[in-house]
Structure 1
Amino acid sequence: MSARNVLARAHRLSWLVLIALVIAEVVTDLPGPGWTTTFLPAAVVAVLLLTTNALQARAGAPRGGPREPVEVAPPVTGRWSALNSPADKVPSHGTHVYGQTYAIDVVAEPEAADGAPQARPPFRWVWPVVRRNRDFPAFGAPLLAVADATVVVASDGQRDHLSRNSLPALAYLMLVEATVRTVLGAHRVLGNHVVLDLGGGTYAVYAHIRRGSLTVKPGDRVRAGQEIGRVGNSGNTTEPHLHLHLMDGPDPDAARGVPFTWRGVGVPANGETFTVDAVDAVDAVDAVDAGAAGDAGDDGDAPGRGGKRGVRDGRSGAVGGAG
């Protein structure tokens, strides 16, 4: 067991002790002054929480000089918008924990028949407090393997909960649900998820997958572009979307993040839309396969500059919501 695994377990244990202290204060009549039975122990545990959290973040931070991004195929087709992108800041989600230093969230922004963008439900201050997943165009969208790979983890069974895209629902997520999921471990934060071994010490994590949609199991070999599941709303999330990141090991508690770039798309910035159609996805897969054989880069498309395999239209999408 690595030091990072130990820190993760210590952090979760600290949360459990703090919760137990709060419950004990409410339901029992402990002898002695309150500061000795509740306040002092809670203060000690709070310090442990802050310390283990800081040590986790430090242990998960990249080591050495800047690492070259790993080029992979896009994991989706259609028109999407990026949120919490490493193109804007690193760590993109405000933490190195779970190997998500360079993680990205994407939400579907499909076009209607008249060519206008099909709006997804906006964030609301109060009402409606929650929405059903079918109201979001990303829900049920196919997820594609970003490279030829071996399935290491294929975790299913967690429900797709209602959205958290209102102020009351978001407050519940941040103050209650996220804490509970943290205590229960990375698999509850990621929800239904898949981890692919891309080779060369690089692993891809797909999080928040729809329950019952997985088409793979541990040990399976998959081809780049193969469907592995569908977008869902399981785990620590506000709305249906894909959370994807690369890391240097199969265990999120012990891994460090690895930077990525999508063939023909690059790394879209926050609020930036990009489009990948089925033909473009096949071309990107072929290019990634060629790169694995040592022939990548001969077509002259610069990653992050669009090119013939993907389109980044630069129009602003929504900049909040997914977590």
Structure 2
Amino acid sequence: MNTTDTTNTTGTVNARVRRAIARWGDVSVKVFAAGVLALVLFDIPFWWYWIFLAVLALSFVRPAWDREREPVPVAAPVVGRWLALNSPGTKVPAHGSRGYGQTYAIDILVPHVVEAAQGPHPKPRYGWGLPRRAEDYPCFGEHVLAVAEGVVVAAGGGQRDHRARDTWPGLVYMAIEGFFRQVGGWRFVFGNHVIIDHGDGVYSAYAHLRRNSLKVGVGDRVSAAHPLGEVGNSGNTSEPHLHFQLMDSPHPPAASGLPFSWTTTVLEPALVAPQYGLPSPTPPPTPGSPPNSHMFTARPLATPLAPLGPASSSPGVQVP
């Protein structure tokens, strides 16, 4: 075995170990939280604290990241005029973390107010009043569509749609609530969700869906543009929007994010939504991935997309 073969073998083993550790990341957080509670309630040696910290450190292990991976062409998961936030078209990792396969994730929503790009625009402000209901947001209840043909491998739709966190007290509450959602695991972070196996090691995830709106279940085979559910405000979210991502595993904690290219979207540079900030001219837009604060229009899928590959997961098997 030459040096190159040895290096490749070592890299493969390292990648498998990292993915295996990452898959148990949610458990590591639970053990840490239980350990801290035990230190507070019981008289146990303080050196256990360092063990619990070491366990917590395991939750920050991420699967290997293939930075050279080409974007996967898929349709947009919505139709109509939308706004992009936390987008890989601006930075990667798009959400500031690679956890839960979010490296190339994107958030999209429909703003209350859309204005012409030219002219002065007020700066966004947070208030101190009662947060608005989820139903008061334009995209709440909008249809969410499959981006390509595949098989549903995970689906959950029973979590409530909470009020927005669009005030200063709401943001503080969200930060505290976010910790407990993290302890609960990825399902409480994603909220109501659907995960689809498109084959060739590609999985799509749709998060924060509306309660009881799912149109599919585990084992269902769907085509591109098949209705999956509706935009909601479940999980760890500040207001109703759709969180979308591609990843290489049906298990978000063990997944590495994959880049995507939406084939059915067109940027709308003449429009802005000042409430969510103004688009920056740099970095240049990534084709198929709308940058932050950019308005775009998603057109209906005119021609069916070719399958990405044979399904990687067995139909009808619930993702644990």
| TM-score normalised according to structure 2 size | 0.75
Given that residues 263 and 288 in structure 1 are in contact (C-alpha distance below 8 angstroms), is that contact kept between their aligned partners in structure 2? no
Secondary structure class of the residue paired with 1:60: coil
- 1:273 partner amino acid: M
After TM superposition, give the deviation of residue 269 of structure 1 in Å.
0.3
2:31 & 2:83 partners in 1: Cα distance? 37
2:259 & 2:26 partners in 1: Cα distance? 23
Match of 1:52 among 48, 53, 58: 58
Given that residues 198 and 308 in structure 2 are in contact (C-alpha distance below 8 angstroms), is that contact kept between their aligned partners in structure 1? no
1:267 & 1:66 partners in 2: Cα distance? 16
Pick closer, same or farther for the CA change 1:292–1:249 going to 2, 3 Å.
closer
Instruction: Give the equivalent residue in structure 1 for 2:27.
Output: 9
Instruction: Give the equivalent residue in structure 2 for 1:138.
Output: 139
After TM superposition, give the deviation of residue 168 of structure 1 in Å.
1.2
Secondary structure class of the residue paired with 2:205: strand
Per-residue deviation, residues 75-106 of structure 1 (Å, max 9, x unmatched): 00111101100111111111111111100000
Given that residues 123 and 165 in structure 1 are in contact (C-alpha distance below 8 angstroms), is that contact kept between their aligned partners in structure 2? no
Pick closer, same or farther for the CA change 1:163–1:19 going to 2, 3 Å.
farther
The equivalences for 1:230-249 within 5 A come to 230-249=230-249
Per-residue deviation, residues 106-126 of structure 1 (Å, max 9, x unmatched): 0113789xx989xxxx96534
Instruction: Give the equivalent residue in structure 1 for 2:295.
Output: 273
- Cα RMSD for the two superposed structures: 2.6
Instruction: Give the number of the structure with larger relative contact order, counting CA–CA contacts within 8 Å between residues 6 or more apart.
Output: 2
1:138 & 1:20 partners in 2: Cα distance? 43
Residues 1:128 and 2:126 aligned together? no
Per-residue deviation, residues 249-305 of structure 1 (Å, max 9, x unmatched): 1111111111101004310000001012xxx3122xx1623x859xxxxxxxxxxxx
- 2:29 partner amino acid: H
Residues 1:212 and 2:230 aligned together? no
1:6 & 1:229 partners in 2: Cα distance? 29
Instruction: Give the equivalent residue in structure 1 for 2:108.
Output: 106
Instruction: Give the equivalent residue in structure 1 for 2:315.
Output: none
Given that residues 107 and 242 in structure 1 are in contact (C-alpha distance below 8 angstroms), is that contact kept between their aligned partners in structure 2? yes
1:149 & 1:71 partners in 2: Cα distance? 14
- 2:58 partner amino acid: T
After TM superposition, give the deviation of residue 134 of structure 1 in Å.
1.3
Residues 1:282 and 2:301 aligned together? yes
User: Percent of aligned positions with the same letter in both sequences?
Assistant: 43
1:198 & 1:100 partners in 2: Cα distance? 18
1:243 & 1:221 partners in 2: Cα distance? 21
1:124 & 1:21 partners in 2: Cα distance? 41
2:248 & 2:143 partners in 1: Cα distance? 25
Pick closer, same or farther for the CA change 1:130–1:92 going to 2, 3 Å.
same
After TM superposition, give the deviation of residue 231 of structure 1 in Å.
0.2
After TM superposition, give the deviation of residue 18 of structure 1 in Å.
1.9
Instruction: Give the equivalent residue in structure 2 for 1:62.
Output: 65
2:239 & 2:294 partners in 1: Cα distance? 18
After TM superposition, give the deviation of residue 60 of structure 1 in Å.
2.6
After TM superposition, give the deviation of residue 154 of structure 1 in Å.
1.2
Instruction: Give the equivalent residue in structure 1 for 2:166.
Output: 165
After TM superposition, give the deviation of residue 151 of structure 1 in Å.
0.8
Given that residues 133 and 163 in structure 1 are in contact (C-alpha distance below 8 angstroms), is that contact kept between their aligned partners in structure 2? yes
Per-residue deviation, residues 216-268 of structure 1 (Å, max 9, x unmatched): 01111111111110000000001000000000011111111111010043100
Per-residue deviation, residues 176-220 of structure 1 (Å, max 9, x unmatched): 211111111111110010001111110000000000100001111
- 2:296 partner amino acid: F
- 2:81 partner amino acid: R
1:146 & 1:48 partners in 2: Cα distance? 37
Note the residue ranges of structure 2 that are not aligned, 5 or more in a row: 1-18, 118-122, 266-287, 310-320
1:8 & 1:88 partners in 2: Cα distance? 28
Secondary structure class of the residue paired with 2:97: coil
- 1:228 partner amino acid: L
1:156 & 1:195 partners in 2: Cα distance? 12
Instruction: Give the equivalent residue in structure 2 for 1:194.
Output: 194
Secondary structure class of the residue paired with 1:137: coil
1:262 & 1:77 partners in 2: Cα distance? 12
| TM-score normalised according to structure 1 size | 0.75
